[in-house]
Amino acid sequence: MFSGAQVSLYPMSRDFVGIILDAVGSLDPYRDRLRIETDDLSTLLVGPPEVLFPALTDLFVAAARSGEHCVLSAAISRGCPGEPDDPICGVGIGDGIKAPLSERIARAIASVANTPVTGQPTAAQFSLYVLGTGNHMDEIYGCIDFLKQSGTFDRAKNFCTKLRGDAGAIFATLQEAFCHFGPPEGHVTLDITVSANSPTKR
Amino acid sequence: MFSGAQVSLYPMSRDFVGIILDAVGSLDPYRDRLRIETDDLSTLLVGPPEVLFPALTDLFVAAARSGEHCVLSAAISRGCPGEPDDPICGVGIGDGIKAPLSERIARAIASVANTPVTGQPTAAQFSLYVLGTGNHMDEIYGCIDFLKQSGTFDRAKNFCTKLRGDAGAIFATLQEAFCHFGPPEGHVTLDITVSANSPTKR
């Protein structure tokens, strides 16, 4: 199944170009498992979720360690019927997704709990979109159940859910939301905003 | 129908706080027609599309006129079944949306052509999500037909469409995509990225 993301990194700094270029170096260990293309708006990363989300974590943490206020924004997609398949994406996202909702929620909570800590405090918000089905809200509400038990839940906002925690747990939460809700072969997308070092109080 | 956006502005500048605060002043003329709430990640704007998109245009152009590289990122939504209705959003988005696809495309093209010029060169990309229906790709392909004739079409990218042109025409294109594709009372969202003054070549 085709999966990937259009990713942008916004360091609120005079040296934003240097911070972005340094952070992009953290993608080097993933280059044999991701297709990477950059233009003036975003960087395309094509590859399976289990590679994509750790790569996003490393990219974000590298930028945030500059100490500047940095935001990573991305549109993440799997199973879009308009996209050609790509062998780099592998064969699917596993049988886990076919399990009943309660079982998927339990597995997702365990995955987040077992994610290594990066030491980078992070705030995030995201929207999960389940496309091409008439009952998309059932999966959304199931995902919200998971989020509330994920350890990263901050609060519900209009149009999105806000998370707070270590960058590792935040991206693990996003990966679980992306992989375990919505039909196994369905079209699912995330719209994510991940922020560090904001001068604005919560 | 409930409609609105979570909007973030990213000036890649040491003076990002000043640029954001100045730009937010451009929302003042809309304050009686939009509900506005800010936290450390985004600003919520709740109101009808015909108010929301001009407000976004003014916000973006005000920030871009700083001369710094600025990006506006937003999740825009209408008809989400999980949101309570709000009187500020009005009664709907008009009968136009019930017209056949070819007629909607023609009206959308005319609307973009008639939009005042701001003088701000702009690049953008966005994804349109039509939720809760089994035939969402028909509306997506109809929207792509419109985009190709909109005068702002740059190119198709994975997961999104890239636009280029004056800020006025860009936001008008986004408004038409949001209002005229997908079911009249359906759940439709946009994930938009709008950029000015990037040092990166196209």
Q: Is the pLDDT of residue A109 over 90?
A: yes
Instruction: Round to whole Å and give the CA distance between B175 and B141.
Output: 17
Helices B49-64 and B16-24 sit at what angle, rounded to 10 degrees?
Answer: 140
Fold of the A3-196 domain: Alpha-Beta Plaits (3.30.70)
Domain-wise residue ranges, chain B: 3-196
- The confidence band for A45, taking pLDDT boundaries of 50, 70 and 90, is very high
The pLDDT value given to residue A131: 84
A74 confidence band (pLDDT: 50, 70, 90): very high
pLDDT of residue A50: 93
Question: Nearest-CA distance from A4 to chain B in Å?
Answer: 8
| Local confidence band at A110 (pLDDT 50, 70, 90 cut-offs) | very high
pLDDT score for A90: 67
**How many A-B residue pairs are in contact by the CB < 8 A criterion?**
151
Of residues A5, A11, A193, nearest to B41 (C-beta)? A193
Q: What is the rounded average pLDDT of the residues A188-196?
A: 96
Cα–Cα distance between A74 and B194 in angstroms, integer? 13
pTM for the model stands at 0.94
Query: Which whole number is the average pLDDT over A98-107?
Result: 88
Q: How buried is residue B166: exposed, middle or buried, by Cβ count under 10 Å (0-12/13-18/19+)?
A: buried
* ipTM of the complex in this document: 0.93
Report the C-alpha gap between A4 and A77 in whole angstroms.
6
- Sign of the torsion formed by the C-alpha atoms of B143, B119, B15 and A157: negative
pLDDT at site A99: 82
Residues of chain B with pLDDT under 70: 85, 90-97, 136, 202
pLDDT greater than 70 at residue A186: yes
Long-range CB contacts (within 8 A, 24+) of B18-23: B19/B63, B19/B66, B19/B68, B19/B70, B20/B63, B22/B62, B22/B63, B22/B66, B23/B59, B23/B60, B23/B62, B23/B63
- Among A130, A191, A200, A202, the strongest candidate for a mutation testing the B interface, having the largest count of B CBs within 10 A, is A191
Optimal mutation site among B3, B21, B41, interface A, most CBs of chain A within 10 A = B41
- Asked whether the beta carbons of B104 and B180 are under 8 A apart, the reply is yes
Query: Residue B69: its pLDDT value, please?
Result: 98
CB-based contact A202 B4, cutoff 8 Å: no
Residue from the list A6, A11, A158 with its beta carbon closest to the beta carbon of B158: A6
Residue of chain A whose alpha carbon sits nearest to that of B35: A158
Place of tokens 């750790």: A54
- Work out the average pLDDT over A114-133: 93
Q: Do B71 and A10 touch (CB under 8 A)?
A: yes
Of residues B13, B77, B136, nearest to A131 (C-beta)? B136
Angle between helices A167-180 and A136-148 (to 10 degrees): 150
Helix, strand, or coil here: B104?
helix
pLDDT at A138: 78
pLDDT band at A111 (very low <50, low <70, confident <90, very high): very high
- Which of A39, A29, A60 is CA-nearest to residue A196? A60
